[in-house]
Every structure is written in C-alpha cells, then in structure tokens.
Amino acid sequence: MTRSSRIAIIGAGLGGATAGALLQRAGFEVRLYEQAQTFERIGAGIHVSANVMKVLRLLEAEKRLSSIGIHPDTFTSRKWDTGEILFELPLGSLGERQYGASYITVHRSDLHAAILEKVLPDSVEFGKRLADVKIDRGIAQLSFADGSSAEADIVIGADGVNSRLREAVVGPRKARFIGAVAHRAIYPSSLLDGLEVRNCTKWWGPNSHILIYFIEQSRNEIYLVTSAKGEWRSPASWEYCDRDEVLRAFDGFHPEVRTVIERAPQLTKWPILDVEPLEKWTEGPLVLIGDACHAMTPYMASGAAMAIEDAAVLVRCLVQSGDQATAFGLYEATRKPRVRKVQQISAENTFLRLPTDPSWVFGYDAATIPLGAYTP
C-alpha cells in the first residue's frame, strides 16, 4: 500500500482512534469522521487486559494508562447468594509475567483519551454522521448528514453496533437485542461507608450476574455493571432506571451486592445487543472493524479489546501488503476465527466462572501474530 492512499475512518471511538493513530504513525494520510459533536465522560468502566495493553504499547500509551487504572491482584468469581469463591484468577505481577503485559480496570473515557491523544488533532472531524457511501471506479464517495462530503481510497468502518457502513458491505443487517439489559453505575467509594469490596469481582447468579470493580488506583470510584433478563422498547440507546428495579432483579443476592446497588446515587439501563456473524467484513475499498462487524455480548469484557486488536492487525496488513485486496484478505483471515471464538464463548457467559486458562485471550499480541493464519 502506498502511503499516499487517502484513508477515511468512520467513527473515532476506541477502535477507530486506535486505527487512526497507528496509521498516522505508519505515515498514512488519515481523516476520522465522528458523528458526536464532542466526547463526553460517559459513566462506564472497562477492563484493559494484557492483549489490549500490548497495542497501547505500540502507541506509547501503556505507561500513562497504567498509572491511572487499578491493577487488581485477582479476578474473583463468587456465587451469587453465599459468596462462595468459585475461582480466583491471579493477576497483578504474576499475570503480567504470564501474559506479557499488565491487566487493569479503568474509566472507559480515560482509555479513550489515552488513545485519542495519539491521533493528530486536526485529523478528527466531529458532527459527521455518515448518510451514504457510493463507490465510483474504486473510490469511496462519502456523504454526511450535515450536507458535506469526502472521498477516500480506503474507508474503515468503526461506527459501532448500529454501523451505517456495515449496510454498504453486507446489506441491511440490524443489531439484535438478546433479551437482557445491563444496569450501570459509577459513584464515589466513600458512599460504601467502609464496606470491604474486592478490587474486581463477578457475582454469578442463575439468570443474572453483576460485576463490581474499582476504576482508579486510589479506589475513589467504584463501578457496577449487571446483566439481567429484561425488555427494551425505548428508541434511546440507554435510559435512567429506578434503584428498586435493579434490587428486584438481584433479589436474594449476597448482602454485599445489594449494598453496592443500594448506595448508587444514580443507575442507568442499556440494552445488550449483538450482531449475527457476517459472511464478509470487506467490500471493495470498505472494511469493518469492531462492533461494526462483530458486536458481541459484554460477558467476556472483550468487545472493546477485539476492536482494538482489529485495528492493530488491519494496520499491519495495510503496511505489509502491496495492494488493498491482499491486505483485506489477510485481515479477515487473521481476525475472523479469533473473533468468532470470543463471540461464542461470550454469548455462553461461562468465561472465568470456574477454573479457566485465559492465556489464549490475554496472551494474544496483535503486533506479532502471524498474518493470514489462525493462532488463538
């Protein structure tokens, strides 16, 4: 691929920003088009596992994020009612030696900011919602809802679960509601009034679960995220919810869980969506990454990780290939088997419940994985 190729990235979230930063480091001409008017500090935590930290290392962002997030000593799985420990995965320095990088939990916005600051600031355009894309003699013609337009030799669709570019690649393919909702809250840990809470715990119930962890080294903020059966009829992507609704969903759970919910000043509710596996991720000059092509349940805490890995592998393919078709073929061949395995196991919601070796997830290195061959 020539460095003069014009590359447009639709979406400047975690995957899009990673792709943009890595492409610019490789000398490509890149513009990112983000539909939001600005990025807000949305109330969500995120797991940054070793496989993601290795990509941040490529961006020279690993140290900064590592200094912000908390390094849990274990990931603990506990039974929903008795609190019995089902499994403890050692992390901390032991995990760092085993997987090649550290494992942290952090505010999602801090992860995004650490990546986005590696993108040239004048290369990001806000308020650009993609309305249409047409291909004319191999060139993508992009039209945006504000009436503006752009051309690109390559278009990377990083526009999320409701991707507009996905439709241009495979036709109409809507995200699916899986019949479950997630409740979220972030709040000062001082509101726990001294309640002892481990750094990172997943409580497993018969038909629901809740994950509770800190998102700062200071342990000043705590985050909870749940999954419980529910309905979703709202056209909005999320809404506020009543604390009693969440407590009813977790009736009978251990007192520690119920206390963490009770102390939350405000809770939100989100539909859990996925996308049925696509037969292809590319079409002509168009290529999809992240949720645009493989949105998955959040039960392995790996959706963002897969998007960031996608970005790193795609950039390697573009750098090392002589033409676009070869690059895209290598990208799909390298990423599809891994992503489909993660999608399947995430949907089963069994990962780390009982003794598990997660080396195939956390040990993955997008910078060195052989291109075009499946290495789990």
Please state, as a whole number, how many other Cβ atoms lie within 10 Å of the Cβ of residue 329.
Answer: 16
pLDDT band at 373 (very low <50, low <70, confident <90, very high): low
Strand 282-283 with 286-288, pairing: antiparallel
Average pLDDT, integer, range 16-39: 97
The residue annotated as part of the active site, out of 33, 187, 213, 299, is: 213
* Residue with the two structure tokens 């001082």: 190
d(CA 360, CA 375): 9
Poorest-confidence range of 41-50, 68-77, 251-260, 264-273? 41-50
Indicate whether 218 belongs to any domain. Answer: yes
Domain membership of residue 210 as a residue range: 177-272
DSSP-based three-state secondary structure for 193: coil
d(CA 163, CA 165): 5
d(CA 265, CA 341): 37
The residue annotated as part of the active site, out of 33, 47, 103, 331, is: 47
Known catalytic residue at 374? no
State the virtual CA torsion across 111, 116, 118, 122 in degrees, nearest 10: -170
Q: Kindly report the length of the chain.
A: 376
Indicate whether 168 belongs to any domain. Answer: no
Helices (H), 69-199: 92-99, 108-116, 164-170
DSSP-based three-state secondary structure for 96: helix
Poorest-confidence range of 31-45, 84-98, 100-114? 31-45
Task: Please tell me the total count of domains within the chain.
Answer: 1
Indicate whether 334 belongs to any domain. Answer: no
Q: What percent of the chain has pLDDT over 70?
A: 99
Tokens representing 208 are 């629901």
d(CA 282, CA 331): 10
Indicate whether 372 belongs to any domain. Answer: no
In tens, the pLDDT along 243-293 reads 999 999 999 999 999 999 999 999 999 999 999 999 999 999 999 999 999
Question: Which residues lie below 8 Å from residue 11, measured CB to CB, with a gap of 6+?
Answer: 32, 33, 34, 35, 157, 158, 159, 160, 292
Give me the residues paired with residue 135 across strands.
140
* Average pLDDT value for the chain: 96
CB 109 within 8 A of CB 39: yes
Helices (H), 142-274: 164-170, 243-249, 255-262
d(CA 80, CA 254): 6
* Residue with the two structure tokens 């975690």: 14
Residue type, 238: W
- Here the CATH number for the domain that contains residue 199 is 3.30.9.30
Known catalytic residue at 47? yes
Return the pLDDT at 272.
98
Question: Which residues lie below 8 Å from residue 208, measured CB to CB, with a gap of 6+?
Answer: 80, 226, 227, 228, 229, 249, 250
Indicate whether 236 belongs to any domain. Answer: yes
Indicate whether 320 belongs to any domain. Answer: no
